[in-house]
Amino acid sequence: ARGVQHTAVRQAHRKYEPNFHDKYGNMVLIGGAVVFTTVWAYVLTQAGMEWGLSPVGKVTPKEWKE
């Protein structure tokens, strides 16, 4: 128990040093959001997909081959 107390006291008196997340966390989050948005914008606009259109009347059965 004393070892835990000594460790807690030592860490409480240390200067706070920013870690990777403190330094770069917001930039990584913003960068990921930009990449996500860019990729989906490309997919939705350039992929040539037709969205929300019904396949009724466009899908016809092929002739049966025996």
Query: According to the model, what pLDDT value does residue 63 have?
Result: 83
Going along the chain from its start, the domains and CATH numbers come out as: 1-47 (4.10.51.10)
CA-closest candidate to residue 2, choices 10, 39, 46: 10
pLDDT in tens, 17-64: 888 888 899 999 999 999 999 999 988 888 776 666 666 666 677 787
DSSP state of 63: P
